[in-house]
Amino acid sequence: MASIVKHRKVNIVVLEQDEAIGEHCKPGDIAIAAAADGWWTSFVGEDGVIDSYDIPYPSYLEALWAAKAAAEFGV
């Protein structure tokens, strides 16, 4: 079940494996999604386009810190 961490007025949506970003996120959100190969950090643009980093983070905490850092810069 998806959960939300709020940082600097940005929703960081934490998704479990197999949960779809489009079903839980809206434009301006950052998604952290669990996958078999690690934790992916993705950004939902104002036009709904989803952009992700090239590789996953090995842990939830690393992905969360990356998402918080992005929120600091006003993603």
Above 70 in pLDDT, residue 24? yes
Q: How far is CA 22 from CA 16, 25, 38, 58, in A?
A: 13, 6, 19, 23
Give the model's pLDDT for residue 75.
61
d(CA 13, CA 35): 14
Above 90 in pLDDT, residue 1? no
Give the model's pLDDT for residue 73.
85
pLDDT digits (tens, 9 = 90+) for 27-70: 999 999 999 999 999 999 999 899 999 999 999 999 999 999 99
Which of residues 45 and 74 earns the better pLDDT score?
A: 45
